[in-house]
Amino acid sequence: MKPVAFITAVVLATLLSVVLLWELRGAVVLFALSLALSAALRPIVDHMVLRGWSPRAALAAVYLATFLDLSVLAYVLGAETLVELPRAASSLAAGYEEVVVTWPKAGSFRGFIAEHLPPPADIYRALGGVAPDELARGAVGTTLGVLDVLGSALAVLALSVYWGANRDAFERVWLSLLPVDRRLRARALWNETRVAAGAHMRHEIGQSTIAAAALALGFWAMGCDYWALPALAVAVLRLVPLLGIAFAVLSAFLGGLATGLPLALGAAALTIAVLLMLRLVIGPRVFHAPRLNPILAVMVVLAVARTYGFAGLVFAPLITAVIQTVFGELIARTQTTPGASIDQLVRRTEALEGGDGTAELTPELTSLLGRLRKLLADAQAAA
């Protein structure tokens, strides 16, 4: 009966863990994003430490610079977007009414399309309003969700600072829960996964930030009536796998179309140029991210898009990078060569102690070799 009771307890504990993870999935997502952000910024911190900075000063400088950059960009684009979004909703509603009224008189193809368009009242009713003003107010209410996103972003940033400052202690704690013979392999797997996730997140956030800043400045200089909203849309839509680039260019075209067709074509051309520059020049030289398997990427997109919608599409590449690294590391570990025998280690230790007479061993190295001799002697006795 004891084996049956043990198996039952394990199954129940597993099911309970799955249910808890599902119920707390919001917190789990924030936790995972904070770890990924910490891994993304860690190489910059390590580089500054190698150049003479103290670890705490380097960590504070990197996170402060990241927070200031993202805050300035979010403030400029966010404040303008809150102004542009209701204006765009009202303009869209007015333009649709004009199309319904004027296109039937034009005849030909436009008249055929106008005959099959639903009345404006049906559109407003489907969107939860009955007039353009209510549609605009609904758009403003939707933008209030940005505050929730900003709160989550601050939580991720705060947790990331904590993980960055206490990474070694955190790794020691969770590795201590594993058997001793599995800790080395688990540490290697964790490090490879952390590096891959951090590289991918640094690649995507960095390119989206550059794209948003460059396009917002470019659209504003071109004289577009809407410059923040399409720039923000491009920065987000480029994260979507497969069709993200096409949707990003289309959003820039529509943003410029509100001012005129020439500006729409110019905005689309500028977007294509910036995205190509990021993909072919800046990305390979500045951001080094692992190349994702396209088949695995499509499978992950199909899995997460059904459950999490657009947010799942945005984070699908990050999930793909993690899965690809984990399986790649597991397969590589199964093909490792055997290590050296105890006798070989003893001979290498004796060779280090003998030396070639040209260099004197430091007290620290002598102490380390003494401890190594004792461990090898214990291993020979146990064998």
List the end-to-end C-alpha distance of the chain, in Å, as a whole number: 38
Distance CA 193, CA 320 (A): 11
CA distances 372 to 67, 342, 363, Å, are 46, 11, 14
Buried b / exposed e over 210-230, threshold 16 CB at 10 Å, is: bbbbbbbebbeeeebbbbbbb
Provide the token pair at 167: 């990474």
List the alpha helices (DSSP H) in the chain: 2-23, 25-50, 55-106, 108-115, 120-126, 132-143, 145-165, 167-175, 180-222, 228-237, 244-257, 261-277, 283-286, 294-333, 342-354, 363-382
Tens-binned pLDDT, residue by residue, of the chain (383 aa): 566 666 677 667 777 766 666 666 667 777 788 888 888 888 888 889 888 898 889 989 999 998 898 888 888 888 888 788 888 877 777 776 776 677 676 666 666 676 666 776 666 555 554 444 554 455 445 555 556 666 777 778 888 888 787 777 777 777 777 787 777 788 888 888 888 888 888 888 899 999 999 999 999 999 888 899 999 999 989 988 878 889 999 999 988 888 888 888 999 999 999 999 998 888 888 887 778 888 888 888 888 877 777 777 888 888 888 888 888 877 766 554 455 567 777 777 777 666 555 556 677 777 777 787 888 777 777 66
